[in-house]
Amino acid sequence: MSLRIAFLGLGHMGRPMALNLVKAGHQVTGFDPVDAVREAVAKEGIAAKPSIAAAVDDAQVVISMLPTGGHAREAYLGDKGVCAGAPAGALLIDCSTIDVDSARLIAKEAASRGFAMVDAPVSGGTGGAAAGTLTFMVGGADDAFGRAEPVLQAMGKAVIHTGGPGTGQAAKICNNMVLGISMIAVSEAFALADKLGLERQKLFDVSSKSSGQCWSLTTYCPVPGPVPTSPANRDYKPGFTAAMMLKDLRLSQAAAQAAGAATPLGAAAASLYTLFVNDGQQDTDFSGIFKMISGE
């Protein structure tokens, strides 16, 4: 079924996601504050509008892909934002990675104004956004999830209902805390292997078939060679930047502190990525932390 969809935030992720909605036959309006972005998407089948209000005014579904919780609060709850301008009954889907508290606040306000809403952050990066193979982690009521699922399927390969409002964001930051810690663990193992005279390929051959096996090793190996498609083979060109990893680790640390959860390895990972980013490596792929750990 063709829907009228408003897409807010047409950056590295949002633009290819919105284009997949166009390809799926939906009528897509879009807003981004950057003039050049609006001009570019207008040539690609997205009706670019000059404001959020203009983009959402007859939308059946509103989707957003914004940088932070502050941007999302402003876009949804501001005077000229989505909740003030979207038609009653519209379905709201925030795909940004933001803090759990902001996601729950926006969902509560949206519900009080009669909107169904889900938080639906993604895994899969810009490659997954372009290929339409993202994984969506979706927090919200059953009926809102039921309406969101077919829309999200046009942009992804897996759409998982994680529970009530905010649980999509919780799943995202827990998953990325595992990823940050495991990338550091794999990097430490290769750095130690180097010092012990163990060839990198041999460590890979053993660990990829042993209990050290994990995604950071076998899909995204942080040293060049064993996995030809990993960013290590193209001088750590991203992929997923160190700045993005640090953002997600900080979100997990803020959530852990607020919830009283002990995450000592998550805290260490956040500190190590802070050192890496402060060293000017914010735009390096996050697997480049191997260079810092090994001293290369």
Residues that bind ligand NAD (CB under 6 A): 8-14, 31-34, 37, 52, 65-67, 71, 74-75, 96-97, 122, 125-126, 240, 244, 247
Helices 264-276/242-259 angle, 10° precision: 150
Query: Judged by CB, which is closer to ligand NAD: 207, or 281?
Result: 281
Query: Judged by CB, which is closer to ligand NAD: 38, or 147?
Result: 38
Q: Which two tokens stand for residue 167?
A: 């649980």
Query: Judged by CB, which is closer to ligand NAD: 79, or 142?
Result: 79
Closest approach, Cβ 217 to ligand NAD, in A, equals 20
Q: Which two tokens stand for residue 172?
A: 């995202």
Contact 202, 132 (CB under 8 A): no
Whole-angstrom distance, CA of residue 34 vs CA of residue 15: 12
Helices 167-196/100-112 angle, 10° precision: 160
Would you call 157 a catalytic residue per the annotation? no
Residue with the two structure tokens 């640090």 = 246
Closest approach, Cβ 114 to ligand NAD, in A, equals 22
Closest approach, Cβ 35 to ligand NAD, in A, equals 10
Query: Judged by CB, which is closer to ligand NAD: 10, or 170?
Result: 10
Cα 121 to Cα 25, 124, 150, 165, distances in angstroms:
23, 10, 16, 12
Q: What are phi and psi of 229, to 5 degrees?
A: -85, -5
Residue nearest to ligand NAD (CB): 11
Closest approach, Cβ 7 to ligand NAD, in A, equals 9
Among residues 43, 157, 172, 237, the one annotated as catalytic is: 172
Q: Which residues are marked as active site?
A: 172
